[in-house]
Amino acid sequence: MTGPADGGSAAGDGSGPGGGGYRVWALGGLPEVRGGDDLAKLIASVSPGLRDGDVLLVTSKIVSKAEGRVVAADDREEAIDAETVRVVARRGALRIVENRQGLVMAAAGVDASNTPAGTVLLLPVDPDASARAIRDGLRDTLGVDVGVVVTDTSGRPWRTGLTDVAIGAAGVRVLDDLRGGTDAYGNPLSATVVATADELAAAGDLVKGKANGLPVAVVRGLAHVVDGAGDDEGARALVRGAADDMFRLGTSEAVREAVTLRRTVREFTDEPVDPGAVRRAVAAAVTAPAPHHTTPWRFVLLESEASRVRLLDAMRDAWIADLRRDGKSEESVAKRVRRGDVLRNAPYLVVPCLVMDGSHHYGDARRDAAEREMFVVAAGAGVQNFLVALAGERLGSAWVSSTMFCRDVVREALGLPEDWDPMGAVAVGHAAAPPKERPARQAGRFIEVR
């Protein structure tokens, strides 16, 4: 295939959108871009034949250079640190992070190639604004209405190899939402949203290449993706929000994040709890370490309101009796009983229990006491696993110790065996509000080194 009249390389059959075809070519003749250069004027000078409906695909490197994003950095890692908002995954020296632009990519997009020694290239501060500036400049210079996509190279989860993706866009429909339509067989489309801007970026990468010195490509024949009104959301619309991101963290980071997310929640919404999520959390709980290869955990799931009310009413009566025996005033009794509302207001309760099956009996009080302590520690480890796993399921929880003060009452209310020791109760549900910030704990305060 021969190249287009204005130089560079080309792909596509050249037919218009009616025939389902398009043409894409890389622009040749662009000079080395330096800080302060007007990219729109440079592009116009080598491609004066741009038309309404064309889409320009501009490599982020030249945008960064024009915007002065070349910075001195003897240590690239320091530059990555400065651009990182959140570490997603780490393996050796490689880091996948969320950067200041909200993009998740290797090394925060910090590039040490195609830049002078001792410097690194940072991504544009606002790639969508950069795309708008180029688009407006081409309209002023050439009088054409084009779309602009700023692209960068990125890897993808579960897929080997790199491709270009859109990190900034202007005048382009970045997402094509097909939900509500039907396919060729009349089947309803309920989940199909096409990342049009990323598809354009990848098409441009085919002709720009990684080492050809051709940082800009043009797509012609897809005018239907150009938004002439200019009120597009930009490429930021392509970034999946945290609430919808099922794969937000790497493995070790997910564990640490889940531990951090494990916060005591005392107010819950009315949203039902998925019993499957609780069972998955129990599956994580029973992987905790335990003495003598035993399994000292039992989890009683109170999924019916009747079982929860029966337990909590029995516990309340026992607690009131204890408080009155302690000489507490009725006002004090009422105040203390209200503290149990976290359990009563939760839509789901779990009572973890300890069983001593497999424990050793030494006939020695000291060693028998230590044996029980080992099992209690194992029960605590199981509960911690359970709470962390609930946090990973985006469920809030509160571990309340009150069942330990009236174990006989709990066993009777729930019909449990005599050798099951309730180890508190866990309120489970969807948090009514984000947890309050808690002061950071410095690990060094809890460490002694010998």
Q: What is the mean pLDDT of residues 56-63?
A: 96
Asked if 366 and 414 sit in the same domain, the reply is yes
Asked if 154 and 255 sit in the same domain, the reply is no
Residue 277, domain CATH: 3.40.109.10
Asked if 215 and 319 sit in the same domain, the reply is no
In-domain check, residue 184: yes
Q: What is the mean pLDDT of residues 196-211?
A: 89
Asked if 262 and 372 sit in the same domain, the reply is yes
Question: How would you list the strands of the sheet with 10-12, edge to edge?
Answer: 10-12, 23-26, 216-220, 55-59, 147-156, 159-170
Q: Which of 244, 273, 293 is the last residue of a domain?
A: 244
Q: What is the mean pLDDT of residues 121-140?
A: 96
Residue 264 has pLDDT above 90, yes or no: no
Q: Residues 360, 371: contact at Cβ < 8 Å? A: yes
Asked if 334 and 240 sit in the same domain, the reply is no
Asked if 206 and 272 sit in the same domain, the reply is no
Residue 14 has pLDDT above 60, yes or no: no
In-domain check, residue 407: yes
Residue 268 confidence (pLDDT): 93
Asked if 261 and 236 sit in the same domain, the reply is no
Among 72-76, 210-214, 237-241, the least confident range = 210-214
Asked if 421 and 285 sit in the same domain, the reply is yes
Asked if 294 and 206 sit in the same domain, the reply is no
Look up the pTM and report it: 0.65
Read off the pLDDT of residues 280-316 as tens digits, 9 standing for 90 and up.
Answer: 999 999 999 999 999 999 999 999 999 999 999 999 9
Residue 399 has pLDDT above 60, yes or no: yes
211 pLDDT band (50/70/90 cuts)? low
Q: Is 415 left (phi over 0), alpha (psi -120 to 50) or beta?
A: left
Rounded-to-integer distance, Cα 171 and Cα 230, Å: 5
Q: Which of 244, 261, 284 is the last residue of a domain?
A: 244
Residue 441 or 66, more confident: 66
Rounded-to-integer distance, Cα 336 and Cα 348, Å: 22
In-domain check, residue 118: no
Asked if 225 and 287 sit in the same domain, the reply is no
Pull the structure tokens for residue 384.
């911690």
Residue 101 confidence (pLDDT): 92
Asked if 314 and 392 sit in the same domain, the reply is yes
Q: Which domain holds residue 346?
A: 251-446
- Residue 263 sits at the vertex; the CA angle it makes with 259 and 264, to the nearest 5 degrees, is 145
In-domain check, residue 25: yes
Q: What is the mean pLDDT of residues 359-363?
A: 91
Read off the pLDDT of residues 103-125 as tens digits, 9 standing for 90 and up.
Answer: 999 999 998 887 888 899 999 99
In-domain check, residue 89: no
What average pLDDT does the structure give for the chain? 88
Asked if 236 and 278 sit in the same domain, the reply is no
Q: What is the mean pLDDT of residues 405-418?
A: 95
Q: What is the mean pLDDT of residues 439-446?
A: 86
Q: Which of 244, 269, 298 is the last residue of a domain?
A: 244
Q: Residues 189, 182: contact at Cβ < 8 Å? A: yes
In-domain check, residue 76: no
Residue 215, domain CATH: 3.30.1330.100
In-domain check, residue 53: yes
Rounded-to-integer distance, Cα 288 and Cα 354, Å: 13
Percent of the chain with pLDDT over 70: 92
In-domain check, residue 380: yes
Among 257-266, 386-395, 400-409, the least confident range = 257-266
Percent of the chain with pLDDT over 90: 62
Residue 196 confidence (pLDDT): 94
Q: What is the mean pLDDT of residues 214-223?
A: 95
84 pLDDT band (50/70/90 cuts)? very high
Q: How many residues in total does the chain contain?
A: 450
- Residue 175 sits at the vertex; the CA angle it makes with 171 and 181, to the nearest 5 degrees, is 125
232 pLDDT band (50/70/90 cuts)? low
432 pLDDT band (50/70/90 cuts)? very high
257 pLDDT band (50/70/90 cuts)? low
Residue 118 confidence (pLDDT): 85
Number of folded domains in the chain? 2
Q: What is the mean pLDDT of residues 137-160?
A: 94
